[in-house]
Amino acid sequence: MQKLPRAFYDRNTVDVAQELLGKYLIHITRGVQRIGRIVEVEAYLGPHDLAAHSARGLTERTKIMFGPPGHAYVYMIYGMYFCMNVVTEREGHASAVLLRAVEPIKNVVGRTQGPGLLCKAMRIDKRLNGHDLTSGGFYIGVTRKTETALIVKRPRIGVDYAGHWARRLLRFYIKDNPFVSKR
DNA sequence: TGCACGATGAAC
DNA sequence: TTCATCGTGCAC
């Protein structure tokens, strides 16, 4: 399993989002290695994207999004779930990719279809906010064998308040994969 | 210092 | 369609 380098994240967010499909999210806690294959993501394009948290500007919560690429942006939603993102593009661009679903590969207990369930099953919480994904313990990897899957493009979920940005096709998932969230 | 609300998920 | 549950951002 090859760990993705910082250069992978330091690129156009839509490209990073689509290329994250099929990659492996790895989280090691107390010697237990949990692995999920990424099958669904959403791209958030920066402060001009009204659906992105960074549209509010630099705040205590969004400072990770405004930071360098290749870091985890983890936040609590609705007081009971966590959402996991990877920060993309150059520092200050404040864009990210939300991981919406993974396919359980190893040591993953419970359902993983949806950003909240994914974090619960992968044991991802606020403590990982700001974690450098090019370091150990929590990162994204790729296997040598590359499989080309068909990518479906749809509007993002739960961002109807964002005007025309809500209609942009920035949700990507692997066609016919059973672990993609149902909405 | 207070309060409305959300990149959710589950029940009804 | 409603609700659980609470940190964040902004109004006051």
A29 bridge partner residues: A32
Res. A175 pLDDT band, cuts 50 70 90: very high
Placement of tokens 């001009």 in the chain: A48
pLDDT tier for residue A56 given thresholds of 50, 70 and 90? very high
Query: What is the set of domains in chain A, with CATH numbers?
Result: 2-174 (3.10.300.10)
Stated in angstroms, how far is A120 CA from B7 C1'? 16
Tell me the CA–C1' distance in angstroms for A147 and B3.
Answer: 49
Instruction: Give per-residue pLDDT as tens, A67-83.
Output: 999 999 999 999 999 99
Q: Is the CB of A77 under 7 A from strand C?
A: no
What rounded mean pLDDT belongs to chain A?
A: 96
Which of A155, A132, A105, A116 lies closest to A1, judged by CA?
Answer: A105
Token pair 């993974």 is found at A102
Helices H / strands E in chain A, number of each: 3, 9
Distance A175 CA to B6 C1' (A): 29
Nearest nucleotide relative to A59: CA against C1'? C9
**Rounded alpha-carbon distances, angstroms, from residue A87 to A44, A91, A102, A161:** 10, 9, 18, 23
What is the rounded distance in angstroms from the CA atom of residue A98 to the CA atom of residue A35? 17
